[in-house]
Structure 1
């Protein structure tokens, strides 16, 4: 088998393994999502605020592709739950910026860390020799990305 054929075969196998891993971990992610008492729109908005804190209602509406009335309702409900706060914009007192509170950040970070925790739990069950091979492969990928 030529190097090109072997490379193509290995790439196909790696892609299939990656897809199988994604499918297997999906149920854990869904479980984490179902534990959170938020709608998808609320979670999207909260995640946006964690990534880019201090957004106006107008910008939130534009980013989510919804009306200002819809954003107002979403922010009202999140504010009632203590997950966001409205604060006057120091540069323009006509504008109120929406910020994620510590509790709001905690929810988004918990979702993110649940996936990392799953990965850690799985890796702890992998034999040391296989972990060494995985680390070597990941270093090779990092080098390829850096070039």
Structure 2
């Protein structure tokens, strides 16, 4: 007997949070080996991925999944530890761009190596085509949710 679309949609949407939760637990376990708090290691990873141009503090907060106030504290701690630094953005002193220091880039590279190992151990036996399909579906779902939220339909 074929599943109804409604049941398939329910199974898909209700799997998102549990998968996110256990993924964060796994990443936290790996990051703990570096004696760096997870919020700081998350920020360092995102900043090092942004490259030499750095990343705006607000965009970093969105990438890490925390509010802007929390990101201010995380960057303060990462700066104090020597991993990240804030720089001004041209003439607009309100905008702060976050850059990795040499120490931050070294930590980011080591974390990335461990996360690559983790992903490989968890995903290596899944056909690449299935991973690519799952990624496309998740990104499409994300875009549609974003469009829905921005359209005003959510207010009805």
- Give me the TM-score of the superposition, normalised by structure 1: 0.52
* Superposition RMSD in Å: 2.8
Q: Quick check: 2:45–2:112 contact (8 Å CA) kept in 1?
A: no
Change (3 A) 1:91 1:66: same
Paired residue for 2:45, among 33, 44, 47? 47
Residue 114 of structure 1 deviates from its aligned partner by: 5.5
Q: Is the 8 A contact 2:86 2:96 kept in 1?
A: yes
Partner residue in 2 for 1:134: none
Q: CA deviation at 1:34?
A: 2.9
Report how many residues are paired. 91
- Corresponding position of 2:57: 57
Higher relative CO (CA 8 A, sep ≥ 6), structure 1 or 2? Answer: 1
The one-character-per-residue Cα deviations of 1:117-139 (angstroms, maximum 9, x if unpaired) are 9xxxxxxxxxxxxxxxxxxxxxx
Distance across 2 between alignment mates of 1:57 and 1:115:
23
Quote the Cα distance in structure 2 between the aligned partners of 1:60 and 1:115. 19
Query: What's 1:96 paired with?
Result: 96
Please identify the structure whose Cα radius of gyration is greater.
1
Unaligned runs of 5+ in 1: 1-29, 118-140, 142-147
Q: CA deviation at 1:116?
A: 7.9
Deviation at 1:115, TM superposition (A): 7.4
Partner of 2:84: 84
Flag structure 2 segments of 5+ consecutive residues without an equivalent: 1-28, 118-127, 129-156
Report the counterpart of residue 33 of structure 2 in structure 1. Answer: 35
